[in-house]
Amino acid sequence: MKLIIAYIRPERLNPVKQALYAKRVYNMSVTNILGSGRQKGFTETYRGVVMEVNLLKKIRLEIGVNEEFVDAALDAIREGAQTGREGDGVVFVLDIAKSMRIRTEETGPDAIG
């Protein structure tokens, strides 16, 4: 079992979801976040005051998958999120030690699948 955490551009959420659904990956949590990476932000003028914006809007996806879906999920995220520009995002894959579905009390891979 793996936990995939992806940070992507907000406007790429729908293409990523569609690509994940096409690969039969349906379980995900989506969070709006602020963050900075290699993009480093930008400056803008608001009412005559120069402001540095270094925390940009991003989307955090958390996807729990069984081993056989890891590569498909990674491919789907790349297909949906990639624009070729800096700031496309990053993906982390972590091991899940335990999992349990609360309603049925299923544990392990059965809780995710």
| 2-112 under CATH 3.30.70.120, yes or no | yes
Nearest to 108, CA basis, from 20, 2, 21: 2
Q: What is the pLDDT of residue 8?
A: 97
Q: Which residues contact 105 (CB under 8 A, 6 or more apart)?
A: none
Task: For the chain, 113 residues long, give each residue's pLDDT as a single digit of tens.
Answer: 999 999 999 999 999 999 999 999 999 999 999 887 776 666 777 777 777 777 889 999 999 999 999 999 999 999 999 999 988 999 999 999 999 999 999 999 999 87
Q: What is the pLDDT of residue 39?
A: 65
Q: What is the pLDDT of residue 87?
A: 87
Q: What is the pLDDT of residue 40?
A: 66
Every domain of the chain and the residues it spans: 2-112
Question: Can you give the pTM of this predicted structure?
Answer: 0.85
| Number of H-type helices and E-type strands within the chain | 3, 6
